[in-house]
Amino acid sequence: MVVYNLNFIGGRRMEPLGGGLCEVRSPFNGEWVGVAPLASLADVDLAVRTARHAIDTGVWSGHPLSQRMNVVERFLSSYVERLPSLLTLITRENAIPLRFNALLGDRLAAQAAFYLEAARSRTHGCGKAAGDMTITCKPAGLVVAMPAWNAPHSMAVGWLIPALLAGCAVILALNPITALDGQIIGELMMEAGLPEGVLSILVTVGETAEHLAGHPDVDRVALSTSDPDGRRLASIASSRSNPLTLETGRRSAAIILPDVDIASAVEGLRDISLFASGQWHARQDRFLVPRHRQSELVAALRQATALLQLGDPLAPDTDIGPLISRQQRNAVMGAIERGATEGAELVFGGVPIDMSDATGAFLQPAVLSNTLHKMSITRETILGPVILVIPYDEIDQAIQISNDGGYGATAAVWTSEPELARVVAGRLRAQVVSINGPGGALRDASSHQNLKCMGWMHSVRRTDEFIEWQALSM
């Protein structure tokens, strides 16, 4: 069992000022994973004061970028060594199958390299004269990073590194579900040479999370969420008119064009559509298919989904683990029921599964056909193993349906015509658009490739999210 009794504030382990302890239990079998202190309002205020002092004295932002990069590189070296054990701990906390958590871990290494390169490149724009002006860049100040439980390190490190490279101080606010794995980040950062005061790590929930998100001395909040509590945090943070970095669970779609080989498409899309047992914001869970080929796709999906292995998330052959809680399983089943009431057809799965060796909230992956994009089930974020098949009549209609959910993380186009694929992809509102996937030799290849591409996109965007540009007129 992993036990933390002290908060990590400004680089030191300190006695909590209240808040109690957070018990972390495995969603798979209910076993105790560990405990960590829950932050109180006083703990939050102390972490903020400590960070503000570090900012005011310039103990980190005053260092040249080269020195900050050296610290980050030393941290990453130690972090990669510890990553296998950390991934096991994360899997015990959130029950997302280990092989999917490992893919997210692989993504971090690629992301980190891009962050470092982007930081080097950014220096070319600082200090550049433009007429009688000089353009400079400054750290944004105090950043609060609030990662979601379904990808705690991918988001935490993905925000932490660019913020530190920019010269910011950071408070990492852990979700109680994954209250343990992020604790080690503090020790590794201090061993790498991060000055005291720059980084604090707290477990926040409810009132304390809201207090931190809305704290008047916080300059920027980075938040990942798709649930009502998270949306409330986003509202509180944005109400202060400070910049908000928000990653939400927007729906992603795969457009299957009329000429495609259905078997190849299903082979390439199955894992990305059910990534992390369906509890991943960037998964493609809406399959848009020509109406005359819908029955063919549904038959292939039924066959492929029936082969998925449900079980222990630590087992290497497990495809689907339990959902994070029985409450979440009920929410997913409720969404499926609403879809059926509105006219969608449940053609496979969607029923709870009892495992003889586990108490987790397992749900047989569900496939719904004849789903219309105006139905509630296609417009809400479903954190569970659900695939929606949406028939279309014209390609323009498929593009419109795909874009109707807003700017998404990923999308896919499946066709044997490369030029048509590029035209369709260019009209989709998504960060990453894959064409026919990277290949079907490995079942998780498409997931891995999409995640690597997303890492590059995030590196370009995030490196500028934690700096402020200033023009000096002489």
Write out pLDDT tens, residues 25-79. Answer: 999 999 999 999 999 999 999 999 999 999 999 999 999 999 999 999 999 999 9
Confidence of residue 433 (pLDDT cuts 50, 70, 90): confident
Local structure of 311: helix, strand or coil = coil
The pLDDT confidence band at residue 461, using thresholds 50, 70 and 90, is: low
For the segment(s) 252-456, the CATH number from 3.40.309.10, 3.40.50.1820, 3.40.50.1370, 1.10.3720.10 is: 3.40.309.10
The full set of domain ranges for the chain reads 2-248, 252-456
Which residues does residue 323 pair with via DSSP β-bridges, in sequence order?
Answer: 361
Task: List the structure tokens of 35.
Answer: 């405990």
* For residue 182, pLDDT beyond 70: yes
Kindly state the average pLDDT of the residues 97-120. Answer: 81
Q: Summarize the confidence of residues 204-231 as an average pLDDT.
A: 86
Backbone angles phi, psi at 61, to 5 degrees: -65, -25
CA angle, residues 77, 83, 86, in degrees to nearest 5 = 140
Please tell me the least confidently modeled range out of 187-201, 326-340, 393-407.
393-407
Mean of pLDDT over the chain: 87
Q: Which of 354, 289, 282, 268 is nearest to 29 (CA)?
A: 354
The C-alpha angle with vertex 438 and arms to 117 and 248, in degrees rounded to 5, equals 65
Q: Which two tokens stand for residue 126?
A: 């600082």
Q: If we measure between CA atoms, which residue out of 448, 474, 377, 465 comes closest to residue 137? A: 465
Q: With contact defined as beta carbons under 8 Å apart, do 135 and 126 qualify?
A: yes
Asked whether this chain's domains 2-248 and 252-456 adopt the same fold, the reply is: no
What's the CA gap between 69 and 419, in Å, rounded?
Answer: 42
Distance separating alpha carbons of residues 397 and 411, to the nearest angstrom: 15
- Better-scored residue on pLDDT, 454 or 122: 122
Domain 2-248 matching CATH 2.20.25.90: the answer reads: no
Q: Are 13 and 7 spatial neighbours (Cβ–Cβ below 8 Å)?
A: yes
Give the dihedral of Cα atoms 407, 413, 418, 420; nearest 10 deg.
-70
Above pLDDT 90, what percent of the chain? 61
User: Which value, to the nearest 10 degrees, does the dihedral of the CA atoms of residues 110, 113, 114, 119 take?
Assistant: 160
* Helix H or strand E encompassing 420: helix 418-426
